[in-house]
Amino acid sequence: MTAFLIATCLSLAWALVHTFVGGRQVARPLRAVSMPHTARATAWMCWHYVTVALFLMSAFFLAAALGEVGLGLAATLLAGAFFLTGLWAKVATGEAFARLPQGWLFLPVMLAGIWGLLA
């Protein structure tokens, strides 16, 4: 239970950072960038999809802490996918981890989820 609560708090923190900091730094500029409307709207919509996924991850970890271990597995897999996607994005873009650190935020979430699943 403790591990899933740690994962809940971490994933909720990242969801809030994504929503409020990312909203200013990413979502708002996406609405103003000069690019084809469909591409801009799709990128903006994807940002919102990630927002929903992050809050659901947090809710799933909380449910796991309350006994719904299957949701803990789903949330752990999602955290692992976000972690691996972050690593892949760095390699694919050549961007430094210092400028693209998001994937690393999910390593402790994933590890806490694994701990919860093994406990």
- One-character DSSP codes across 72-90: HHHHHHHHHHHHHHHHHHH
Q: Is the pTM of this model over 0.95?
A: no
**Helix pair 102-118, 2-22: axis angle to 10 deg:** 160
In tens digits, the chain (119 residues) has pLDDT values of: 899 999 999 999 999 999 998 887 887 787 777 889 898 888 888 989 999 999 999 999 999 999 999 999 999 999 999 999 999 999 999 998 888 888 999 999 999 999 999 99
